[in-house]
Structure 1
Amino acid sequence: MSQFASPMTILMVEDNALQRRLLEAQLQPLGHHLMVAANGEEALGRLKGSGPRPDMLIMDVVMPSLDGFKTCEAIKSDPALADIPILVLTALSRDAKDRSYAAGADDFIRKPANTLLLQVRVQTHLRIRALSLRTGSLPTARPKVLVASASALVLTQVQNHFGKDQAMYLEAQSESRARAQILAHRPDLLVLDTDLSEGGAQNLVVTLHQSEELKSMPILLLHEPGELETWSRLREPVADALEKPLVATETRRRLALLARLAQLQKLVGQA
């Protein structure tokens, strides 16, 4: 994982002590400061108190006194707190994802969380948080997106899910073609399918991370169930990951997040 200029602060909101220890073990390698709240009321107290304010919350929803949905609504309805990203992490099934987003959550992962997925999502939200504090509001921009996949279906789905008018798209079905597109057109972000002909997706990522000019380009990895573990050996894996088959709402959400990251990085680089 890449290092920040200085560690940021994560508030873990979880009433189960065992789950808190597990979450702490997953997050410690990132090098950020970790705070703990046992329920929603305690979390609100920490946010509104005189102590240091966290840069991000990771929150369960099933908690006594004030559940995660109501806590999320309370935070997002407060203008002083609304910009703090909230990732809901819960084992609750059924409509938990929809309810979390309806309450204002910025992200959602179901327990038990894959460690790599949790880490890259947290890092991406914190990068956006750190850059946003420096740049303020963003002008509207259409990102240049390279979609690299051997699957014609995936190439079409990504563009249709995110919206053909929301970005400028480049395509590549092989590793060599993806390299050529990157060098020729300098895309803002890369959507990389593990199904890539003439070489491997990991080889492409390693090459990009070895380049000072290209290593900060956000990468959304599209993977099959069970494939993500093989990426944990990379020092700098990806900015986000999405399991196939693709679902339009989730594809759109993930791409919008990385498009924002790419735009913020560009603005800071130009400053």
Structure 2
Amino acid sequence: MNISLGDIPLRTILIVDDDAIVRRYLEAQLSRLGCRLAFAEDGVEAMVRIEEDRPDLVLLDIVMPGLDGFEVCRRIKGSLATQHIPVIHFTSLGQEAKERSFEAGADDFLNKPLNIVELRSRVRSHLLIQSLQEELKANQGMHRAWRWEEQPKARILAVIADIDLREWVVDKLRTQGHDVLWADSLRACLDSMGQGLPDLMVIDHQLPDGAAGDFVGHLRNFAKSRDLPVLMLCSREAMERKQVGGDAGPMDYLVVPTNGTEMRVRVDVLLREGRLLAGRSADRIGLERDLLVDPPTGAYSEAFLEAHLTLVQGWLAKAHQPLSLLGAGCYQQVAGWLEAKEHMVRSARFLSAGLRQGEALCRVADRTFVLLLPGTDAKGLEERIQALYKSGFTGTLAGLPVPPGASAGTVLRGLAQVLQKGQGSTAIL
């Protein structure tokens, strides 16, 4: 397919700074990103530009005459028409300014003097996130309209040799609610990743057995780890000398020592980018939606359930036989994501052991299964729920007798809602 540059809309970055030297510097550094650059000298002009141009990203100085950067950001985020535009503050002010920046609604923060590696990484990340969100919104009619479970906490692997820094990072990440494992070398990192990829890797730029930049570059050569989000910890000197490696894939940098607020923002941005990329890959490549069997557990997939449910409804309707669905939520607290994977496999085996002829077990989310039970009516469904609890199942069970003629989407949406209500629930559509 022939694609011309005219087919690809240019992204617009609005640069707002009262210093002409800073504006020229940013123009020189960002001109290679292939974006249209617009400029404003103060907050008042910035608001006019935003109203007229609707930029895709705003790079905003804080200290300016008239409207300062805090107020401009509040106005951008306070309007329904512009609140989606990412705002990156930059200033030479200290920690208090950063706190005020995020209170005003800023999406990110850069310190002056600006570092080119950080600058380009942050700009690319926010433009990509915005593009992925737009794509998801445009295609949302193609996606299912139900959610089986809440977004699970992120799985993070911290690869840091220094004990004090590692303990500080792990503690901060766990305080933020994440599931964290750690490694003290690249070899230990590989051993851990062999048990499953994390949602994010936080890695020191220099480790006893090699440079993290080369290691991350190696990971980008494989489809499975190509889009793994990476937060690289480095010294200010390494950043200034550009010794931290390339910027392929979702990647950002954090100068240490740092504070918890900056790390939280870096982690949140990378996790958001990683989730959007993962969802995009699943829909386009079919990693999740097109497989008929879930490889880790051996259960059928959600794609199988959606297709098979419609077929089974037709067969049973002709034979005047009932059909029920039983949702099983395996929400047990575990010590880490490796234990969570083992728990899923055990749960699948437990639920499969009780299946009868013609029944099927499907995995529909990280921690949720659905049992397809042809020939089972409402009374039989209640008996199956009680039997599973008596046999030792410790998760959440919820059932739904399937009414004749109901669409697969309506049935699955109803079951998801019943499952969210809690243990032992049943419902009639």
Q: Please, what TM-score do these two structures have when normalized by structure 1?
A: 0.88
Partners of 1:150 and 1:201 lie apart in 2 by 12
The question of whether the paired residues in 2 share the 8 Å contact of 1:205 and 1:237 is answered with no
Runs of 4+ in 1 over 4 A off after TM superposition: 136-139
The 8 Å contact of residues 147 and 191 in structure 1, kept in 2 or not, is answered as yes
What does 1:132-147 align with in structure 2 at a 5 Å threshold?
132-136=133-137, 140-147=151-158
1:163-213 CA-partner distances (Å, limit 9, x unpaired): 357222232211122123234311121101124222221221121122233
1:63 aligns with 2:74: no
Q: Deviations over 1:220-267 (max 9, x none)?
A: 011122112333663638621111123222222211111111111111
Structure 2 segments unaligned to the other structure (5+ residues) = 1-7, 141-146, 284-429
Cα deviations across residues 59-111 of structure 1 (Å, max 9, x unaligned)? Answer: 11222232211111111111221121111112344732222222111111121
In the superposition, the TM-score normalised over structure 2's length comes to 0.57
The 3-state SS of whatever aligns with 1:163 is helix
Superposition deviation, residue 24 in structure 1: 0.9
Please name the residue that 1:174 is paired with.
185
32 and 44 in structure 1: CA distance in 2 versus 1, 3 angstrom threshold: same
Counterpart of 1:227 in 2: which secondary structure? helix
The whole-number CA distance in structure 2 between the counterparts of 1:259 and 1:99 is 23
- CA offset at residue 154 of structure 1? 2.8
CA shift, 1:148, in A, is 0.7
1:7-86 correspondence runs (5 A): 7-49=10-52, 51=53, 53-86=54-87
1:230 matched residue in structure 2: 242
In 1: Cα distance, 2:216 partner to 2:276 partner = 21
CA distance in 2 between counterparts of 1:246 and 1:159 reads 14
Instruction: Confirm or deny: 8 A CA contact 1:88 1:107 kept in the other structure.
Output: yes
Task: Decide whether the 8 Å contact of 1:10 with 1:32 is kept in 2.
Answer: yes
Specify whether residues 81 and 225 from structure 1 end up closer, same or farther in structure 2 by C-alpha distance, changes over 3 A only: same
Aligned AA for 2:201? L
Letter in 1 for 2:113: P
Larger mean CA deviation between 108-117 and 92-101 belongs to 92-101
Alignment of 1:108-123 (within 5 A): 108-123=109-124
**Match of 1:215, as an amino acid?**
R
The letter for the 2-side match of 1:217 is L
d(CA) in 2 for partners of 1:244 and 1:235?
19
- Cα 1:129–1:78, aligned 2, differ >3 Å: closer, same or farther? same
Is the CA contact (8 Å cut-off) linking 1:219 and 1:238 kept in structure 2? yes
Q: Aligned partners of 2:37, 2:79: CA distance in 1, in Å?
A: 23
Q: 2:361 maps to what in 1?
A: none
2:123 corresponds to which letter in structure 1?
Answer: V
Matched, 1:258 2:256: no
- In 2, Cα distance between the equivalents of 1:66 and 1:37? 12
Separation in structure 1 between the aligned mates of residue 126 and residue 188 of structure 2, nearest angstrom:
30
Structure 1 stretches lacking a partner, 5+ long: none
Measured on the aligned residues, the alpha-carbon RMSD in Å equals 2.3
Range with bigger deviation, 80-89 or 162-171: 162-171
Letter matched to residue 265 of structure 1: L
Larger Rg: 2
Closer, same or farther: CA 94–140 of 1 in aligned 2, 3 Å:
closer
TM-superposed CA distance for 1:122, in Å, is 1.1
Q: Could you tell me which residue of structure 2 aligns to residue 270 of structure 1?
A: 282
The residue that corresponds to 1:248 in the other structure is: 260
